[in-house]
Structure 1
Amino acid sequence: MRTRDTSSSIEQKQKYPPHATPEARGYADSIDTANAESHSQKTQLEVCTVGDAIETFLGEQTEYAPSTTRQYVSVLRFFNRWTSQQGLDYTSELTPLHVIQFRNWRQHRAPVKVPSLKKITINSQMAKIRRFLRWCETINVVTPGLPETVDFIRIVDDEDVRHEVLDPEKAQTIQRHLNKWQYATRDHITWILKLEFGARTGDIRSIDLEDLELEGNQPHLRLRHRPDHGTRLKNGKQSERTIALSPEACRVLVDYIESNRADVVDEYGRRPLLTTANGRISKSTIRSYSYKWTRPCKIGLGCPHGKDDDKCPAAGSKGAHKCPSSQSSHCARTGYLTYELNSGVDPVHLSGRCDVSEEVLSKHYDMRSEQEQMFVRQRAFETARLSYQSFGGVENDR
């Protein structure tokens, strides 16, 4: 990369008042020239196009999961497109104003599927832009300090928390329907795992037959991070854990394996739990089961939107996500975690079972009202009182 001097803006001639004397002009010129030379010495940057910087950056980010890499590719593609439109060919030309202008353009003018990006979404994307600019700073192709000028939109209260949750009644209705009409199918097994421990899509897809222990006094499954053999867990090795299974879940799993599982191996020679004729089930198929079976009309609850099946665009499996009442996999996970918290399960244990920090659990998954939290605390104290006296040694009226 060649060295590029970014001091041209400072070298522009000073505009003087008409009445300025030649001596004054000469003095100002000498100061301006000195400033320009000083700035030039401090800001000698390597010459690098925005496109080359992006390509090199992405090539070095080998520690990220594929899904995270795709997110970087997406936002940096938008960044490359915007800088090209603005005539910004080189990274050394970027200023804090450009960063702000890109953020506004990306949020309000560039969205593809929505009128405007949510605050949490644009902040997440700008965090990736800052990560890219910090990398650029380490190889001396952007002005020092530029990454720290990346500004984020202020989010008040709980604007960054998703409140949509699968409620227990609907979850039970789905389970009863699948038990009766889809027993021991792939759809049923997927929902068994979602409702058994709030499983993520990646958790479900990663399970092999060898990961299951369905007999004995302590039936369980093991979740393992195997990035070199086709499956990843969200937090890598930290996501590995052993999950206890209920007798009911084990019974359905055994019946599925014996009767309905396609006896195939994947391209790595592994034996997946959930299979298709071509091998391991895809994440998109697992996600589709969430939308498919959260539609009220498909689980015997009728249509709350007054639609007829033959005229509804969401009636078919491919259009299930279009139903206003259908819900994503994340809603089932949120519902499971909220239900267990309401049942009085210690957040420490829930954190370990579901691979979620207590901080994230509290902020993003705990959808209990203050009164519900009070009842849980009250039950915990009443249970504790069975084995020891209250702090004051007397019973309190509650």
Structure 2
Amino acid sequence: MKLKPTPPQDAAKRYLRDRRGEITDKTHYNYSTTLNQFTDWCHQNEIHNMNDLDSELIDRFKEWRLQSVKPITAKNDMSTIKNFIEYAATIQAIHRGTAELIRIPRVSEDDEICDDFLSKQEATAILDYLNKYEYATNRHLTILLFWKAGMRLSGLWGLDEKDFDTTRPALELRHRPTTGTPLKRKSKSERDVILAPETATILTDYLENKTTVTDQHGRKPLLTTRTGRPAQTTLQKYVYTASRPCEYNGGTCPFGREIETCEATNFDTANKCPGSISPHAIRRGYVTAAQNAGQPKDVTSDRVNMSGPILDKHYDKGTHDEKAERRREHLKDF
């Protein structure tokens, strides 16, 4: 097969266009980030034509990534690169079979698991602070709904006012890709999440006092800023700022930093605090707290939209003691 001269950047753009309809915006962004790193590496190494790439050069890219990222990140990157190379072969930019020679980094089971999670004690302290000083604000609602519903970032971000059913009460998560708010697992992520009365009351108070706005698709977002639906990065920053220990413990830094000079005190740099956590860490915390409280696994799995094995492996951060106590009431002496 005669190869067609193809710059790496052009091949990457074609691949991303080809995948656009099959993947979520978040996944598309992740693929784009990885391919930008790959094409930049090609440029730095004077590889200007996909025809010149072979498995040995791609392996050098893998070695380069492993110098600066964790093995699990390199594994994910190389899986994306392998799929990209498979596509490149279909447009005659690289020899067929090259992708089969790419070795994906192996990682231990421990490396695949993230232990970052919000404990029930920490969640209670954060929500007590917000309930007292920032009642029914954007930041309060963001942390509250992440903790009480265990939902993903995309789920909270895509909610509209009409998705709050006050009669049950419940939040109705729906996949709406044509108007800009897809769910991670598309229609499989659709579900209704029952809310406790106390949570529903705070949400009702928020809706009664906020300014209703309409987005570019004619929808009325549940959470709003002055300009419309908040960006997902804004929701992330609400979590980063609220989870800084000094934010809710009276101003004491447990890491020995001086508050006046700490780089994490600003809204945009809160993630640099060693104690700040991501929305996904709250999701892990919810799962762990639900399991410790005796909530059946299938109930938790359905509520947060994940399989039992994934819940066990990646989200349940209960200690050995906690897991033993969960089993106590089911034990039989025979």
Q: TM-score, normalised by structure 2?
A: 0.93
Cα distance in 1 between the residues matched to 2:154 and 2:37: 27
User: Which residue does 1:229 correspond to in 2?
Assistant: 179
Q: Which runs of 5+ in 2 are unaligned?
A: none
CA 1:281/1:138 → structure 2, altered by over 3 Å: closer, same or farther?
Answer: same
Cα distance in 2 between the residues matched to 1:175 and 1:74: 34
CA 1:145/1:323 → structure 2, altered by over 3 Å: closer, same or farther?
Answer: same
2:308 is equivalent to residue 358 of structure 1: yes
User: Which residue does 1:296 correspond to in 2?
Assistant: 245
One-letter amino acid of the counterpart of residue 295, structure 1: R
Cα distance in 2 between the residues matched to 1:74 and 1:185: 33
Paired residues for 1:1-398 under 5 Å: 44-51=1-8, 52-62=10-20, 63-108=22-67, 116-215=68-167, 218-259=168-209, 261-301=210-250, 302-379=252-329, 381=330, 395-396=333-334
Equivalent pair of 1:47/1:90 in contact (CA under 8 Å) = no
CA deviations over 1:99-146 (Å, ceiling 9, x no partner): 1111112332xxxxxxx1110101101001100111122334322221
Cα distance in 1 between the residues matched to 2:218 and 2:42: 46
| Structure whose alpha-carbon radius of gyration is higher | 1
CA deviations over 1:265-285 (Å, ceiling 9, x no partner): 111111111111111111111
One-letter amino acid of the counterpart of residue 74, structure 1: T
One-letter amino acid of the counterpart of residue 70, structure 1: Y
Size of the alignment, in residue pairs?
A: 331
CA shift for structure 1 position 208:
0.8
Equivalent pair of 1:264/1:279 in contact (CA under 8 Å) = yes
Equivalent pair of 1:174/1:294 in contact (CA under 8 Å) = yes
User: Which residue does 1:27 correspond to in 2?
Assistant: none
| SS of equivalent residue, structure 1 residue 46 | coil
Which structure has more RCO (C-alpha within 8 Å, separation ≥ 6)?
2
Cα distance in 2 between the residues matched to 1:234 and 1:355: 10
CA 1:309/1:211 → structure 2, altered by over 3 Å: closer, same or farther?
Answer: same
CA shift for structure 1 position 361:
1.1
Equivalent pair of 1:45/1:142 in contact (CA under 8 Å) = no
User: Which residue does 1:111 correspond to in 2?
Assistant: none
One-letter amino acid of the counterpart of residue 360, structure 1: I
Cα distance in 2 between the residues matched to 1:291 and 1:183: 18
Equivalent pair of 2:160/2:222 in contact (CA under 8 Å) = yes
Please, what is the CA RMSD of the aligned residues?
1.8
Q: Which runs of 5+ in 1 are unaligned?
A: 1-43, 109-115, 383-389
CA shift for structure 1 position 359:
2.0
One-letter amino acid of the counterpart of residue 333, structure 1: R
> Which aligned segments of 4 or more residues in structure 1 are displaced greater than 6 angstroms?
none
CA shift for structure 1 position 56:
1.9
Cα distance in 2 between the residues matched to 1:190 and 1:141: 46
Cα distance in 2 between the residues matched to 1:70 and 1:318: 21
CA shift for structure 1 position 54:
2.1
CA shift for structure 1 position 349:
1.7
| SS of equivalent residue, structure 1 residue 275 | coil
CA deviations over 1:277-336 (Å, ceiling 9, x no partner): 111111111111111111122112522133443332222323322222111111111111
CA shift for structure 1 position 92:
3.1
Cα distance in 2 between the residues matched to 1:308 and 1:104: 39
Q: TM-score, normalised by structure 1?
A: 0.79
Cα distance in 2 between the residues matched to 1:276 and 1:369: 39
One-letter amino acid of the counterpart of residue 244, structure 2: R
CA deviations over 1:232-275 (Å, ceiling 9, x no partner): 2111111110000100011101111112x112111111111111
| SS of equivalent residue, structure 2 residue 110 | coil
| SS of equivalent residue, structure 2 residue 111 | coil
Cα distance in 2 between the residues matched to 1:89 and 1:252: 57
Equivalent pair of 1:291/1:321 in contact (CA under 8 Å) = yes
| SS of equivalent residue, structure 2 residue 76 | helix
CA 1:56/1:157 → structure 2, altered by over 3 Å: closer, same or farther?
Answer: closer
